[in-house]
Structure 1
Amino acid sequence: MANGFFSEDKVSEIRERSNILEVVSDYVTLKKAGKNHRGLCPFHSEKTPSFMVNEEKQIFHCFGCGAGGNVFTFLMKAGNLTFPQAVEELAKRYGIRLPSREPSPAQKREVEKKEVLFQINRIACDYFHDLLTRRREGEIGRRYLSQRGAKDEMIEEHRLGYAPDAWNGLVGHLQEKKVRLEFASELGLIFPKKKGGWYDAFRGRILFPIFDVHGRIVGFGGRLIGQGEPKYLNSPESTIYHKGEILYGLQAAKSSIQEKDSVMIAEGYFDLLALHQNGFKQSVATLGTALTPHHIRTLKRYTKNLVTLFDSDEAGAKANLRSLPLFLEEEVAAKAIFLPKGQDPDEFLRKGNSKEFERRAAGAVPLIDFFFEWLLKNHDMKSIEGKVKVAQEGLGMIGRIPNPIRRNFYKKALAERLNVPQSFLDEAPSSRKTGSFEEGKASKTEVLERLPRSEEMVVGLMLHHPEWIPTISETGILQEFENPALKRMADVLKDLFEKKGKLDISEAMGSVDDPVRDGLSRLLFQQSDPAAAGSPERILKDCIQSIRKKKLRRDEGELLKKIREAEGGQGGNGLDALLMKRQELARKTKGF
C-alpha cells in the first residue's frame, strides 16, 4: 500500500481525476494570468498576489513564502491534513471509491487498546468534573478556583475537575464502570498496593484534563490544594501521551491562533486559563517540560508567529534562551513578552492588567535581540576576553539561522553591539552547522537562494524534456554540480525517471520532501523551457562546458591556496607535486 494506506494506482487515479484549480479555488480567489492563475497566498500574509497555480501541470507555487507542490500538498497545508486524509478528501470530492483499509491483527489490537485508554481517561475526567461542579465534596475545589479567579465558563470549557483527598474514590468509580484497572494504572490514574488492590493517584487536587489536538483526553495534571509535595502531579508517558508532543489548551486555541496569525506560549495551566479568560485565546502552555522541536512544528501548522510568555524570573530567562536555538533551526523568528519581575501571566492578569498586557504583547521583543542583550549583560564588555566570548557565543547562535540574508543582518546587529566592523566577524571561523544537504536533504532557504544558471538550466531540461534525463545522467555532470539544492533536485528527478521510465510532474511533487518540492515548483513557474532558445543537445553541451569550466576555476583556487601554504612551510616534494597538479589544471582550462 502506498504511504502505508492506499495503493500507488489508487493515489495516481485520484491525482489524475482531481483538478488543482478547483480545489485551490475553495480557499483562494484566483485570476487568470497568462498560462497560470494568480491569487493571495493562503499560507502567509501578503498584499500583492504571489501565489500561482498551473492547471496544465497541476501544481502550485508561492513566490512569497516558497511553498509549492501538487493537489495533495496543497490540501495537506491548507487543511492541516495528513496525506491519507487528503487522499480521502479528494476521493470523496471526485466520487472515487476507496478500498477499505485492512490493518494487521497487531495494528487492530493497538488501535483497540488506544480507544480503551481514551475511554478510561474520559470516564475519569467526567468523574473529576462532576465532583468539582455538582458534588458537596467538590466545595474545596470550587472555593480554591474562585480564589484563583477561574470563571465557570473556563471550568466548563477546559473540563476542570477535583479529586478529593481520599484513597479509593476513583478506583471504586472505575470498578463500577467495569474498567480494566491495569489499563487505568498504565495511564497513571491509580497505583497498585503492595499487598494487593489499588489506590487513587490524584488526591486533594484540582485536575486539568490534557487534550490532544483532536479533543481526546491523553492525560491529567493535578494541582495540590494545601500543603504538601509535589505541588503538581502529571500523568506519566503512555501509549497515548507524550509530553514533548502535546501543548495544553491547543484544542481550544487553534481557531483563534489561525484567526490572529499568532500564538503565545505560556508555561502553566493557570497561566493558560487566565490568558483565555481575558480574551487572549491564541495561547497554549507547555506541560512541565521544555519546549521541543515537535511543539514548534505543531504550532507552525497554524502560524509562523510564535511568542514566548515565560515567567519573569531567572528560570524564565533560561527557558527563553534554551528555546531560541530550536526556533532558529525551525526557521521561526520568535519573540518574547516580558512582564514585571516576579509576576507570571496568571498573577498579572488577575490584577486587572489586561490593557497593559496587550501593550506588552504588541511590543514583544525578538528572542535573538534578547539573547544579544543577555550576552552583553553577562560578560565583561570592558575586557577583550569578554568581547571575544560575546562574539563567539553570538556567532554560534547566528550560525543556526538557515536563511543567509537574515544571518547577515543579525551578524551586522551583533557587530554594532560590539562596536566593531562586520568584516571583523565575517573573518571569524564559521561555527555554522553544515547544511542538511550533506544528509541528503535541502533546506528551503538554500533552495531559494540564487542558483548557478547553467546548473539551473540542466534541471530545467530534465523538467521540460524528461526524455533527456538518461543522456544527462550518462554525462556524469550531476556529480559536478556546485549547488547542493540543485544537485538534490536533479538526483530526485533522475531516480524517479529511472524507477518508472517517465516523469509525471504532479506525481513527482508528491514523492519528494518539502524543500525539493518547493524548489522544483519555483523553477517550473519561473523558468521557461531552456530548449526554446535552441536544441536540447546544444543547450546541454553549453551547460556542461560552463559547469566544468567553473569547477576547474574552483579547483585551481583551492590548489593555489595549498601551494601558498606549502611555500610558507618550505614544502619540498609536497610543493613539487602541487605545482605539477597546477600545470595539469592549466592544460585542462586551456581546453575550454
Structure 2
Amino acid sequence: MNTVDDVKQKLDIVDVISQYVKLQKSGRNFKAACPFHSEKTASFFVFPEKQSWHCFGACGTGGDIFSFIMKKEGVDFGQALHMLAEKAGVTLIHQSPQNVKEQHDQHEKLFKINEVAAEYFHYLLLHSNDSETARQYVKKRNLAPKTVENFQIGYALNRWDDLSGHLIKAGYKEADILAVGLIVLRDKEGYYDRFRNRLMFPIRDIKSRVVGFGGRALDDSLPKYLNSPQTPIFDKSSIIYGIDRAQASIRQKDSVVITEGYMDTIAAHEYGFENTVASMGTALTSKQISTLRKLSKNVIFALDSDQAGLEATTRSILTIDEQIPKEHWIPWLEAKTYNELGKYEVQVVEIKDGKDPDELIRKSPEKWAKLLEASQSIIDFTLKKEIDTITRNKPGDKSAIVGKFLPILSQIEDPVRRAHYAYKLAELINLDGRSVWEALLNSVAQEKKHRNTKGTRKTINYAQQGDDSRRIEEYCLTLLLNFPDLITISKKIDINYFEHSENKDILLTWQTDTNMEVLVEKLDPALREYLNHLYVDNNYAYFVNW
C-alpha cells in the first residue's frame, strides 16, 4: 500500500468534510450547502461508499478527500497530502526511486517463489506416490476435484528438504526462500522446510497473487494449522482467505459472509455460496475490514459455535466500531460501541450444536441458506448473549445490564431503532419499557453534554473505495507514462474526469514534461512509490533508471 492509499484508508471523507461543513444524512449519502459558493438549496453531496464529493450546483466539480482540502485550504496536492497524513497519523517516508524499484523487484521475486511452490504442492497432491494419505484425506472431506483445482490445494511431503530442494534447483536463492517464509533456519547451521506432511492451502491477495500458505497437519503435529510467518508480502492481519475468488460475488450480492477457516470457505464456494471468505482463525482486523468495505458494507459473521468462535465473532464484529471509555465496557465485547453501525449492516449467524459451517453446508446447503437468511442483527445477538449470563429476577443484575447497554443504545442515531432496542431490552429483563426509555433519554442527554464539553470523539476511519473510476484513471496514466508519444492525445483529456487528486497531479505534471526524471523531481516525494506502481507494476517489460 502506498502512502496516498494509507492516508485514504485511515481517514473517512465524511469525518474530514464535516469539520468544514455541516452535513445532513440524505439516504446513503450526505448533503450540505456548497462551501465553495453561495446557494439556498443544498447541492453539495458526499458519497461515503466512493469516498468522494461533488457539487451539482454552480461549481459542477468534485473529487476525493485530497481535492476537497486543496480547494478549501488553497493548497497544492503535496501540501494537502502532508496535512492529511498528519491528521491520519501517517508518517511520510520519502524513498528514493532506486529504493522503490529495488523493493518492487524483491516483492515480485517473492511472489514468484510462492507461485512456484503452490504449483509444486498441487502437483504433489495429484501425482506423487507419497501423497496417498493426503489424497485419502481430501476424499474423506468430500472435496470435489474441481474444488481442489480452483483453490490449488496441495500437499507438502513429509521430508525436511523437499520443497527447498525443488526451489533451489529451479534457480532461487536460499535467502529469498527464507524471506518468503518457506524454510526455517536451524539453530546451528542449515535450514529445513517449514511445511511437512501438511495439506497446503495457497493464500492469495485480492489481486490473486500467492502471498503465503496455510498447512493442515495430517498427523498429530502441532499446531493443527500452520500459517506462513510475517514476510514482506504476507501480513496475516490484512489478508482474507478466498477474497480473490469471492470479490465478484460479494459485489454482485452486496454482502459478504465471514467464516473462520479454509475448509469453511472452500465448502461454501463448492456449494454456490461464493461471497464467502475466511478470517483465517482470528478475529477480523481493521485492515481486513478496510478491504471488505470496498466490496460491500453488508457483513454476515458465521464463525464456529465453540467458545473460540464466539470470542472471535464478537471481537470481529466490534472492530468495526470505535472504542468507548472503559466505564462503558461490556467485557466480552472488547470495549466497543455502535455509533458507527450505520456504516455497516452487520448480521450474525448463530451456529448451534458445536458444528462448524463446513459440516453444516455439506450436510444441507438448503439449511445453510436458511441460516444465512435468518441471521440476526449485531445488537440482537449482543443483547441475547449478555442477558443469558444474568439472573433476570435480581434487581442488581437488571440494573447492571441496563447500565452497560444504555451508552451503546444512546449512540444509535435512528430514533426508531433506538426505541426498538430500548423496549426490547426492557422486555428481555422483565422491566417496564418506560423506565428503560426514560433512562435512555437521560443517557442521550449526558452523551450530548459530554460531546459539547470535550468535543466529538475521534472515530475510526475507513479505507477508500477501490471503485472503477480509480482503475480507469490508473490504466490511463499507465499508458501515458509508458508511451510518451501519446502526449498530444493527452492534451484532449478533461482533467475534471479524474476524481482522484494524486492522479490529477501526476497527469498535469506529466503534460508539462514527459521526461521521467523531470516528473520524479517535480512530484512530491511521497508520490514516488505510487508513480512506480503506475509505471512498473502493470506488466510492462521495461523500467527507466531514475
> Smaller-chain TM-score range?
0.5 to 0.7
Q: What letter is aligned with 2:283?
A: A
Which residue does 2:138 correspond to in 1?
Answer: 145
Q: Aligned to 1:181, which of 163, 171, 174?
A: 174
Q: Aligned to 1:347, which of 359, 369, 376?
A: 359
Q: What letter is aligned with 1:370?
A: F
Q: What letter is aligned with 1:363?
A: A
Which residue does 1:237 correspond to in 2?
Answer: 230
Q: Distance in 1 between matches of 2:300 and 2:366?
A: 18
3-state secondary structure, aligned to 1:243: coil
Question: What is the Cα deviation at residue 59 of structure 1?
Answer: 4.1
Q: Distance in 2 between matches of 1:280 and 1:141?
A: 26
Which residue does 2:377 correspond to in 1?
Answer: 366
CA contact (8 A) 1:320 1:367 kept: no
3-state secondary structure, aligned to 2:290: helix
Question: What is the Cα deviation at residue 510 of structure 1?
Answer: 6.5
3-state secondary structure, aligned to 1:215: coil
Which residue does 1:338 correspond to in 2?
Answer: 350
More moved, 235-244 vs 216-225: 235-244
3-state secondary structure, aligned to 1:138: helix
Q: Distance in 2 between matches of 1:438 and 1:340?
A: 40
Q: What letter is aligned with 2:203?
A: I
Counterpart check, 1:309 vs 2:302: yes
State the percentage of identical aligned residues: 33
Q: Aligned to 1:427, which of 442, 453, 464?
A: 442
Question: What is the Cα deviation at residue 171 of structure 1?
Answer: 1.2
Distance 1:145 1:70, change over 3 A: same
Q: Deviations over 1:323-356 (max 9, x none)?
A: 33223445323101123311101111222x1111
Q: Distance in 1 between matches of 2:216 and 2:3?
A: 42
Q: Deviations over 1:546-591 (max 9, x none)?
A: xxxxxxxxxxxxxxxxxxxxxxxxxxxxxxxxxxxxxxxxxxxxxx
CA contact (8 A) 2:284 2:317 kept: no
Which residue does 1:57 correspond to in 2?
Answer: 59
Which residue does 2:117 correspond to in 1?
Answer: 124
Question: What is the Cα deviation at residue 394 of structure 1?
Answer: 1.6
CA contact (8 A) 1:128 1:207 kept: yes
Q: Distance in 2 between matches of 1:509 and 1:439?
A: 30
Unaligned runs of 5+ residues in structure 1 are: 6-34, 45-50, 61-68, 75-82, 84-101, 445-505, 513-592
Q: Deviations over 1:177-211 (max 9, x none)?
A: 12121222222211122342221110000011110
Q: Deviations over 1:87-135 (max 9, x none)?
A: xxxxxxxxxxxxxxx9622222211111111111111111111111222
CA contact (8 A) 1:415 1:425 kept: no
Which residue does 1:298 correspond to in 2?
Answer: 291
CA contact (8 A) 1:58 1:71 kept: no
Q: Distance in 2 between matches of 1:73 and 1:282?
A: 34
Q: Aligned to 1:105, which of 95, 98, 101?
A: 98
Match runs of 1:495-506 below 5 Å: none
CA contact (8 A) 2:199 2:217 kept: yes
3-state secondary structure, aligned to 1:382: coil
Question: What is the Cα deviation at residue 36 of structure 1?
Answer: 12
CA contact (8 A) 1:266 1:310 kept: yes
Q: Deviations over 1:151-189 (max 9, x none)?
A: 111111111110011111011111101212122222221
> What is the TM-score normalised by the length of structure 2?
0.62
Match runs of 1:106-505 below 5 Å: 106-329=99-322, 331=341, 332-351=344-363, 353-398=364-409, 401=412, 406-407=417-418, 409-418=420-429, 419-420=431-432, 421=434, 422-428=437-443, 430=446, 438=456
Q: What letter is aligned with 2:304?
A: D
Q: Distance in 2 between matches of 1:117 and 1:321?
A: 35
3-state secondary structure, aligned to 1:206: strand
CA contact (8 A) 1:268 1:285 kept: yes
Q: Distance in 1 between matches of 2:4 and 2:149?
A: 39
Between structures 1 and 2, the one with greater helix share? 1
Q: Distance in 2 between matches of 1:56 and 1:279?
A: 49
Q: Distance in 1 between matches of 2:396 and 2:246?
A: 47
Which residue does 1:483 correspond to in 2?
Answer: none
Structure showing greater relative contact order (alpha-carbon pairs closer than 8 Å, 6 or more residues apart): 2
> What is the TM-score normalised by the length of structure 1?
0.57
3-state secondary structure, aligned to 2:388: helix
Q: Deviations over 1:200-238 (max 9, x none)?
A: 110000011110101111110000012221111111111
Q: Distance in 2 between matches of 1:132 and 1:56?
A: 64
Q: Distance in 2 between matches of 1:142 and 1:110?
A: 39
3-state secondary structure, aligned to 1:244: coil
Unaligned runs of 5+ residues in structure 2 are: 6-40, 69-76, 78-94, 323-339, 463-495, 503-546
Q: Distance in 1 between matches of 2:460 and 2:249?
A: 33
Distance 1:372 1:439, change over 3 A: closer
Question: What is the Cα deviation at residue 263 of structure 1?
Answer: 0.7
CA contact (8 A) 1:59 1:70 kept: no
Distance 1:339 1:321, change over 3 A: same
Distance 1:247 1:424, change over 3 A: same
Question: What is the Cα deviation at residue 318 of structure 1?
Answer: 2.3
3-state secondary structure, aligned to 1:257: helix
Q: Distance in 1 between matches of 2:410 and 2:232?
A: 37
Q: Distance in 2 between matches of 1:134 and 1:180?
A: 26
Which residue does 2:22 correspond to in 1?
Answer: none
Which residue does 2:88 correspond to in 1?
Answer: none
Distance 1:509 1:268, change over 3 A: closer
Q: Distance in 2 between matches of 1:73 and 1:309?
A: 39
Between structure 1 and structure 2, the one with the greater Rg is 1
How many residue pairs get aligned? The number is 380
Question: What is the Cα deviation at residue 294 of structure 1?
Answer: 1.9
Q: Distance in 2 between matches of 1:402 and 1:297?
A: 23
CA contact (8 A) 1:250 1:284 kept: yes
Distance 1:323 1:385, change over 3 A: farther
Distance 1:374 1:188, change over 3 A: same
Q: What letter is aligned with 1:54?
A: F
Question: What is the Cα deviation at residue 52 of structure 1?
Answer: 8.8
3-state secondary structure, aligned to 1:264: strand
Which residue does 1:582 correspond to in 2?
Answer: none
Q: Distance in 2 between matches of 1:125 and 1:139?
A: 18
Question: What is the Cα deviation at residue 297 of structure 1?
Answer: 2.2
Question: What is the Cα deviation at residue 427 of structure 1?
Answer: 2.3
Q: Distance in 1 between matches of 2:460 and 2:268?
A: 39
CA contact (8 A) 1:129 1:159 kept: yes
CA contact (8 A) 2:198 2:216 kept: yes
Distance 1:169 1:443, change over 3 A: closer
Distance 1:224 1:402, change over 3 A: farther
Match runs of 1:502-521 below 5 Å: none
Distance 1:368 1:443, change over 3 A: same
3-state secondary structure, aligned to 2:102: helix
Q: Distance in 1 between matches of 2:447 and 2:146?
A: 51
Q: What letter is aligned with 2:373?
A: A
Q: How big is the alpha-carbon RMSD for the aligned residues of Structure 1 and Structure 2?
A: 3.9
3-state secondary structure, aligned to 2:196: coil
CA contact (8 A) 1:59 1:71 kept: no
3-state secondary structure, aligned to 1:334: strand
